[in-house]
Structure 1
Amino acid sequence: MNKLTLIGGAPLSGKTTLSRKIASRDGAVELSTDSIRSWMKSLVSPNGYPGLFYSDNMSAEDFYIKYDTPQSVVDGEIAEGRQVEKGVLALLKTEVTWDHLVVEGIAITPELMTKIRDEYRDREVECIILVDEDRHRIHDRISGRGLWGPLDSYPNSLIPKEVEWVILYNKWFHEQAIEYGIKILTVEQITLRPVS
């Protein structure tokens, strides 16, 4: 692998959109941390990796009763991401033959990007954090497609809770990107102009 592009950010920030644009432009292989998480969950136990399973076997209503503040949801997502990080690092240690790999997802944090960039100095590592702190756009996207699952699979009354934690998670990613010196792009930047 000659080039690795890492794209992190909160849900709905445009990670998949940007990943697809880069893959289309460069002929790169795309990989989502959602896929890595699913793969890991089929291989490990909840006892060894509790963060991977923190929302399993719960309805949306039960989840938002148990995790009743935006911060508690963000904390759970961060903990899950730290568990998925182990799978990302394990994959990168294999002898992959792809020329360019794009990995995107909420588990791709600025801290992980820094670790990977330091570990793989022999290749080009591009790091991008996407943020969207526009409350109205986030609300409209969740209202149009759902977040917990498909929109019709849980009560619309939970959407305001989802908006709040997604906003908070975007702020966390933004602050972490500044702390670690990682490039930040906004939704507008990836939707209004070509990828450079």
Structure 2
Amino acid sequence: MILIGGPPMIGETTIARRLAARLDYGTMSTDDLGQSIRAVTTPDSHPNLHLMSGIDHREYYVSRSTERLIQDAENQPQASCLPSKQLSAARGLGRPHRHRGLDVDARSRRKSKP
């Protein structure tokens, strides 16, 4: 597994896709994982996880004060503290599945061979 991260809109997805193609790996976006986790939680149960739902990230960063951005960043670790049952459901652990048209082994995210 190779993780590539950074601020929104700087090209992580482009780099990840090119690297995955070169290494014959499948890809999974953290946006996809976040969407899956949000599907098995609610804003009431995990408000920090749903903080950015439906928000244009570019608008979010330019419309908030530095203090608010810091506060939101400090809340992010709380968003990732989910019970393992919810994480397993969100990740589909142990089950092969299709991701963006590719057969993907959920344990390694490597393309499954037919």
Distance of aligned partners of 1:57 and 1:18 in 2 relative to their CA distance in 1, 3 Å threshold: closer
Q: Using structure 2 for the length normalisation, give the TM-score.
A: 0.57
Q: Using structure 1 for the length normalisation, give the TM-score.
A: 0.37
Tell me the residue number matched to 1:101: 109
| Structure 2: tracts of 5 or more residues without a match | 96-104
Deviation, structure 1 residue 43: 1.6
Residues 132-157 of structure 1: CA distance to partner in whole angstroms, max 9, x if unpaired? xxxxxxxxxxxxxxxxxxxxxxxxxx
Structure with more strand by fraction: 1
Secondary structure at 2:5 match in 1: strand
Distance of aligned partners of 1:32 and 1:73 in 2 relative to their CA distance in 1, 3 Å threshold: same
Verify the 8 A CA contact 1:52 1:84 in the aligned structure 2. Answer: yes
After superposition, where does 1:19-168 map in structure 2 within 5 Å? 19-56=16-53, 68-77=64-73, 79-80=75-76, 82-84=78-80, 86=82, 90=88, 91=91, 94-95=93-94, 97=105, 101=109
Structure with more helix by fraction: 1
| Structure 1: tracts of 5 or more residues without a match | 103-196
**Higher CA-based Rg:** 1
Post-superposition, which runs of at least 4 consecutive aligned residues in structure 1 deviate over 4 A?
56-60, 84-87
Structure showing greater relative contact order (alpha-carbon pairs closer than 8 Å, 6 or more residues apart): 1
Q: How many residues align?
A: 95
- Between the two proteins, what is the percent identity of the paired residues? 20
